[in-house]
């Protein structure tokens, strides 16, 4: 649980629009098509090939952030076993696999106003048409970089670098003051 | 806000992009044989075109990729974007 989320809870967190998500194991993976195939088999999630799409199988997820860049998210308990397993599967294929578990923290923004809340600081068009379920991308929330993943019609997973999490959460809370009571 | 069409991600807001200067500046193929003038040209001298200009842009807060764009420097209109390494597409002369 990120300290920033615990120490200064935003005033309207109790309403449930913002939920801190449990700690996770994260990897930043980059590689060509051979490495992508090998990793898909070992990881158990076929890495998406369409731009800005996420795929998940059970508790594991893979987010395509760029043409050769993926963010892998798995339960925290798998951290110790996953790294050597993936490294073995990739072998000598050219790739980069970096564990970034503690670089960022995740929280869910949800409910009927989720889109509106994120839209208050994110310049993307978050309507269901241009930003459908399963779409993920890096973007900005005000001045902080976030990774945004739409997991449902009114549910988003937001990943922010841990030192920026307080900034993101409190600006969201500030926008939430405008929500109808 | 300008909408810039990233060749990898599609149309995205300009806030996510970083400008990267003139495109298609080629480094001397044989650096040891290049004259001082060649280096001057490569390192420092840039066009300052009025009109359609090919520029490098980077989708810094998105996919992170560099790409090239044709932009009209008088109107700030993006006429085309294309991947790095590709030739700039033809721009119709009688465009609006």
User: Would you list the DSSP string of A35-80?
Assistant: HHHHHHHHHSSPPP-STTBEEEETTEEEEEEETTEEEEEEEGGGHH
The answer to the question of residue A6 being in a domain is no
**Can you name the CATH fold of B3-24+52-83?**
Folate-binding fold (3.30.2270)
Q: Which two tokens stand for residue A24?
A: 């996770």
Q: State the maximum Cα–Cα separation within chain A, in Å, rounded to a whole number.
A: 57
What's A70's domain CATH number? 3.30.70.1520
pLDDT of residue A162: 93
Q: What's this model's pTM, rounded to 2 decimal places?
A: 0.88
Note whether residue A137 is domain-resident. yes
**A43 and A95 part of one domain:** yes
> So where are chain B's domains?
3-24+52-83
What does DSSP assign to residue B32? G
CATH number for A123: 3.30.1360.120
Q: Which of A67, A99, A131 is the last residue of a domain?
A: A99
Nearest Cβ partner for B61 among A51, A67, A139: A139
Mean pLDDT, range B18-41, rounded to an integer:
94
What is the pLDDT of chain A when averaged over all its residues? 91
Q: Among A170, A158, A135, which Cα is nearest to A24's?
A: A158
Helix (H, G, I), strand (E, B) or coil at B36: helix
Question: How high is the pLDDT of residue A52?
Answer: 95
Q: What ipTM does the predicted assembly reach? A: 0.84
Do A95 and A112 belong to one domain?
A: no
Residue range A95-142, pLDDT digits in tens: 999 999 999 999 999 999 999 999 999 999 999 999 999 999 999 999
Which residue in the set B8, B13, B16 is minimally distant from A51, CB to CB? B8
Domain residues for the domain of A160 are: 16-22+103-176
Q: Do B10 and A67 touch (CB under 8 A)?
A: no
Within a domain: residue A8? no
- Say if residue A13's pLDDT is above 60: no
Res A20 pLDDT > 50: yes
* End position of a domain, from candidates A99, A127, A152: A99
Assess if residue A113 is contained within a domain.
yes
B79: DSSP letter: E
Percent of chain A with pLDDT over 90: 82
The answer to whether position A89 is within a domain reads yes
Please give the tally of structural domains in chain A: 2
Residues 6+ apart with CB under 8 A from A24: A73, A74, A75, A76, A101, A106
Region B11-24 average pLDDT: 95
Same domain, A95 and A111: no
pLDDT at A15 over 90: no
Report CB contact under 8 Å: B13, A145: no
> To the nearest whole number, what is the mean pLDDT of chain B?
92
């Amino acid at each position: 649980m990120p300290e920033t989320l615990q120490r200064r809870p935003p005033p309207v967190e109790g309403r449930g629009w913002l939920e801190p998500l449990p700690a996770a194991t994260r990897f930043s993976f980059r590689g060509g098509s051979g490495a992508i195939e090998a990793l898909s088999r070992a990881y158990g999630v076929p890495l998406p090939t369409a731009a800005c799409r996420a795929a998940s199988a059970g508790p594991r997820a893979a987010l395509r952030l760029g043409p050769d860049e993926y963010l892998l998210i798995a339960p925290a308990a798998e951290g110790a076993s996953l790294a050597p397993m993936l490294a073995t599967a990739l072998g000598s294929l050219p790739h980069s696999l970096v564990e970034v578990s503690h670089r960022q923290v995740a929280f869910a923004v949800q409910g009927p106003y989720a889109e509106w809340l994120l839209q208050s600081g994110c310049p993307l068009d978050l309507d269901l048409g241009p930003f459908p379920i399963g779409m993920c991308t890096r973007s900005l929330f005000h001045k902080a970089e976030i990774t945004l993943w739409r997991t449902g019609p009114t549910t988003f997973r937001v990943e922010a670098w841990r030192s920026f999490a307080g900034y993101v959460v409190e600006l969201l809370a500030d926008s939430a003051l405008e929500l109808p009571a | 806000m300008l909408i810039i069409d990233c060749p990898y991600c599609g149309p995205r807001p300009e806030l996510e992009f970083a400008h990267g200067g003139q495109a298609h500046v080629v480094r001397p193929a044989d650096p040891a044989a290049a004259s001082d003038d060649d280096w001057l040209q490569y390192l420092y001298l840039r066009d300052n075109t009025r009109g359609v200009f090919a520029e490098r842009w980077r989708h810094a807060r998105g996919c992170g990729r560099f790409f090239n764009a044709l932009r009209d420097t008088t109107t700030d209109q993006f006429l085309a974007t294309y991947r790095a390494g590709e030739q700039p597409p033809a721009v119709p002369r009688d465009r609006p």
